[in-house]
Structure 1
Amino acid sequence: MSMVVFFSFGMTSVVNAAPTATDQQATQALVRQLTGLRSFSADFEQTTKANIKSNAPKKAVSAQHLNQKFTGVMKVERPGKFYWETMAPSKQIIVTSGKTIWIYDPDLQQVVRQTVSDQVANTPALLLSGNTAQIMQSYTVSQPDVSKSYYTLIPKNTEGSFQDLSIGFAKDGTPNVMILNDALGQTTTINFNRVIKNTKITPSTFNFVPPKGTDIIDQ
């Protein structure tokens, strides 16, 4: 799943640089942000662009999704529950109740089934629903400006599908943006809108049952 508008609050002045946090301070600050986020739902807008500074082969960058806007809804309940539905321009559903993640493509009548433990480092949006301790073991966290709730995570496993992930939080503690730089030389930006924080989500939202006739592919 490729995911995550660039935002001005993450930028710092070249004349008066903002104070930065140590990795430990940044990690602790991010843990506090995630701990206070028991559940949330939001609409999202996602765009992907080629990173012109990347050394990745240009043929590796899929032109099909570049500069195209994807919209949909997402719902998260920690720990481990996640629902992501892309509605336009094509439909896809990604859902997990904590152990198995389902990636459903209704147009192909096909669903891919994977274990969540294998996907934490490869599916950035799952960070929002994951176990905080596990996340902190998998990433090095930095905070470019201690006055801003904006963090960059770099996977400790260099064989993952993305190079770094940045996440920003609004003043009320809700995520409002994710920016992903992947291994194919692409930058994906996801903006979250109409965010509702810490309200009860219907349990059945996170339980996926493949529709009759759907091909199931285990990976």
Structure 2
Amino acid sequence: MKKTALLTITGLFPFVVFSQPLDLLNNFLNETKQASGAFEQQTFQKDGKPAEELQRGTFSFSRPGKFVWTYTSPYPQKMVCDGSRIYIWDEDLNQVTVRSAKGAIPKSPASILFGTQSYKKDWNATQPKQEDGYTWITLTPKAKDASVNSVS
């Protein structure tokens, strides 16, 4: 089942007034080499109902390709990427899984924040909209067999 991901990220990001609406996203992705903050993540079914519980956690990254993504709830889990491998620690199972970053990141939503190339190769962006005090930009994958329908 394909899912839509809604990701709210807060942290220390530079704020600049831009002439074009997508300049905010492009500037962030081109100029920000490292950042950290907190996130909330929710996936939805096609009918708009939540597919899973709301997930919360923290993140930090250093481009290109290095990050720590920590889920604090509902189930603790930590993903650490050194640029070539992703280590996924599942606290409940007391187990670490190691995967190649090369195959895991490029077309995933993570590639938008941590990837080494422009999101424009694999994602289409909508014009931003203001809602609830946030600026929302929705990205949809160009690939027809993507694991998600969109990321906002």
TM-score normalised by structure 1 residue count: 0.50
| 2:16 is equivalent to residue 4 of structure 1 | no
Please list the CA deviations of residues 30-75 of structure 1 after superposition, one character each: whole Å capped at 9, or x if unmatched: 3322112221111223334444269xxxxxx86xxx3x33322111
Query: What fraction of aligned residue pairs are identical, expressed as a percent?
Result: 28
User: Residues 100 and 161 of structure 1: is their aligned pair in 2 closer, same or farther, counting only changes over 3 Å?
Assistant: same
CA distance in 2 between counterparts of 1:104 and 1:45 reads 19
Corresponding residue number in structure 1 for 2:85: 100
Is the CA contact 2:64–2:115 (under 8 Å) kept in the aligned structure 1?
yes
Could you list the runs of 5+ residues in structure 1 that have no partner in the other structure?
6-20, 55-60, 167-219
Task: Give the match's secondary structure for 2:151.
Answer: strand
Give the letter aligned to residue 80 of structure 2.
V
Corresponding residue number in structure 2 for 1:140: 124
User: Residues 111 and 121 of structure 1: is their aligned pair in 2 closer, same or farther, counting only changes over 3 Å?
Assistant: same
CA distance in 1 between counterparts of 2:44 and 2:138 reads 19
User: Residues 163 and 69 of structure 1: is their aligned pair in 2 closer, same or farther, counting only changes over 3 Å?
Assistant: closer
| 2:68 is equivalent to residue 41 of structure 1 | no
Q: How many residues align?
A: 134
| 2:119 is equivalent to residue 130 of structure 1 | no
Corresponding residue number in structure 2 for 1:120: 105
Question: 1:112: how far off?
Answer: 2.3
Is the CA contact 1:142–1:151 (under 8 Å) kept in the aligned structure 2?
yes
CA distance in 1 between counterparts of 2:128 and 2:73 reads 34
Could you list the runs of 5+ residues in structure 2 that have no partner in the other structure?
9-19
Matches within 5 A, 1:30-179: 30-52=25-47, 66=52, 68-121=53-106, 123-133=108-118, 135-144=119-128, 150-166=136-152
CA distance in 1 between counterparts of 2:107 and 2:75 reads 22
Q: Determine which structure has more spread, i.e. the larger CA radius of gyration.
A: 1
Give the letter aligned to residue 97 of structure 2.
V
Is the CA contact 1:34–1:132 (under 8 Å) kept in the aligned structure 2?
no
User: Residues 142 and 3 of structure 1: is their aligned pair in 2 closer, same or farther, counting only changes over 3 Å?
Assistant: closer
User: Residues 153 and 103 of structure 1: is their aligned pair in 2 closer, same or farther, counting only changes over 3 Å?
Assistant: same
CA distance in 2 between counterparts of 1:108 and 1:159 reads 31
User: Residues 80 and 73 of structure 1: is their aligned pair in 2 closer, same or farther, counting only changes over 3 Å?
Assistant: same
Structure in which a larger fraction of residues adopt strand? 2
Question: 1:3: how far off?
Answer: 6.5
